[in-house]
Amino acid sequence: MNLKLKICGMRDPANILAVVALQPDYLGFIFYPGSKRYVADLEETVMQAIPGNIHKTGVFVNATLDEITAAVRDYKLDAVQLHGSEDAAFASVVKKAHPKMEVIKAFGIHENFDFTQLIPFETVVDYFLFDTQTSAHGGSGKQFNWSLLGGYALSLPYFLSGGIGLESLQAIREVSDTRLYAIDINSKFELAPALKDVAALTEFKHQLFPSAQAKGN
């Protein structure tokens, strides 16, 4: 399984640099003012220290195209994650406005989730992200029932998110779905909101990607 790793909810400059040293594939920055991990006044220059092989991902909740475009420009984002109630038409507009950028559409999964609502998005976004359904748009530290993904019938690859921690490693290893593209981790690896526990992240990465440890990453 050639999984990617996304570490989301970054804000503290020193913590960002420490996490960058782990070489995740994606770093997530939340541009939703209602989040405890909102980037707030994060200096744009901090982004310049992030190597080009790490996808700088902006997480937005029902933002306007102008707001997204400004963040893409100012923070040199490589990917945009739409984590609200954005429809496929809006996702298409974002993609057309930024054709070189990856667009990820997130959905909160629950027992009665209707996967057919994903069909209009399949041709206009690059990836889906499946998170735990919450009123706060993620960051709950709660894991949804992964067996519900049996209802996902499309071919588009997806990020798996929602309450994933060190205790989730064995369950991740047991996932056989080849559409699983990346693991997205956040609140289970925090010392405080937007402040990541680098030691715990290191252990998680080395256990999930033992070949990376062998290479000294």
pTM of the model: 0.94
Res. 214: pLDDT tops 50: no
Q: Are 7 and 185 in contact (CB under 8 A)?
A: yes
Q: What is the DSSP letter of 118?
A: G
Contact 55, 35 (CB under 8 A): no
Residue type, 102: E
Say what percent of the chain tops pLDDT 90.
87
Q: Is the pLDDT of residue 29 over 80?
A: yes
Going along the chain from its start, the domains and CATH numbers come out as: 4-211 (3.20.20.70)
User: Is residue 57 a contact partner of residue 84, using CB atoms and an 8 Å limit?
Assistant: no
Q: Tell me the sheet residues that pair with 202.
A: none
